[in-house]
Amino acid sequence: GVGAARAGNLTFMVGGVEQEFNAAKELLTCMGSNVIYCGEVGTGQAAKICNNMLLAISMIGTAEAMNLGIRL
Protein backbone atom coordinates (compact mmCIF):
# COMPACT_ATOMS: atom_id res chain seq x y z
CA GLY A 1 0.00 0.00 0.00
CA VAL A 2 0.87 3.66 0.23
CA GLY A 3 2.76 3.26 3.51
CA ALA A 4 4.97 0.54 2.07
CA ALA A 5 5.65 2.67 -1.01
CA ARG A 6 6.70 5.63 1.13
CA ALA A 7 8.96 3.40 3.21
CA GLY A 8 10.45 1.72 0.13
CA ASN A 9 9.21 -1.69 1.21
CA LEU A 10 7.26 -2.72 -1.88
CA THR A 11 7.69 -6.12 -3.50
CA PHE A 12 8.07 -6.32 -7.28
CA MET A 13 7.43 -9.57 -9.13
CA VAL A 14 8.93 -9.04 -12.56
CA GLY A 15 8.72 -11.01 -15.79
CA GLY A 16 10.57 -10.37 -19.01
CA VAL A 17 13.96 -10.72 -20.61
CA GLU A 18 16.48 -11.33 -17.84
CA GLN A 19 18.97 -8.77 -19.20
CA GLU A 20 16.26 -6.10 -19.15
CA PHE A 21 15.27 -7.12 -15.63
CA ASN A 22 18.87 -6.75 -14.47
CA ALA A 23 19.01 -3.29 -16.07
CA ALA A 24 15.81 -2.19 -14.29
CA LYS A 25 16.54 -3.87 -10.95
CA GLU A 26 18.60 -0.97 -9.59
CA LEU A 27 15.70 1.43 -10.18
CA LEU A 28 13.17 -0.99 -8.69
CA THR A 29 15.24 -1.46 -5.53
CA CYS A 30 14.87 2.29 -4.90
CA MET A 31 11.14 1.69 -4.46
CA GLY A 32 11.03 -1.81 -3.04
CA SER A 33 12.97 -4.05 -0.75
CA ASN A 34 12.00 -7.25 -2.61
CA VAL A 35 12.57 -7.48 -6.35
CA ILE A 36 11.98 -10.98 -7.67
CA TYR A 37 12.62 -12.18 -11.22
CA CYS A 38 9.85 -14.61 -12.18
CA GLY A 39 10.83 -15.60 -15.72
CA GLU A 40 9.32 -14.83 -19.11
CA VAL A 41 7.03 -11.93 -19.97
CA GLY A 42 3.77 -12.28 -18.01
CA THR A 43 5.10 -14.46 -15.22
CA GLY A 44 5.42 -11.50 -12.85
CA GLN A 45 1.76 -10.67 -13.41
CA ALA A 46 0.80 -14.30 -12.86
CA ALA A 47 2.72 -14.38 -9.56
CA LYS A 48 1.03 -11.14 -8.45
CA ILE A 49 -2.42 -12.49 -9.33
CA CYS A 50 -1.75 -15.67 -7.34
CA ASN A 51 -0.53 -13.60 -4.39
CA ASN A 52 -3.64 -11.39 -4.52
CA MET A 53 -5.91 -14.44 -4.77
CA LEU A 54 -4.30 -15.99 -1.70
CA LEU A 55 -4.72 -12.74 0.22
CA ALA A 56 -8.38 -12.47 -0.84
CA ILE A 57 -9.10 -16.06 0.22
CA SER A 58 -7.47 -15.40 3.58
CA MET A 59 -9.50 -12.22 4.10
CA ILE A 60 -12.75 -13.97 3.13
CA GLY A 61 -12.01 -16.72 5.66
CA THR A 62 -11.26 -14.16 8.36
CA ALA A 63 -14.49 -12.27 7.65
CA GLU A 64 -16.56 -15.48 7.69
CA ALA A 65 -14.99 -16.58 10.99
CA MET A 66 -15.71 -13.19 12.56
CA ASN A 67 -19.29 -13.30 11.29
CA LEU A 68 -19.78 -16.82 12.66
CA GLY A 69 -18.27 -15.82 16.01
CA ILE A 70 -20.56 -12.83 16.32
CA ARG A 71 -23.63 -14.88 15.46
CA LEU A 72 -22.78 -17.65 17.91
Radius of gyration of the chain (CA): 17
Which residues belong to the active site?
A: 48
Q: Is 14 exposed, middle or buried (0-12, 13-18, 19+ CB in 10 A)?
A: buried
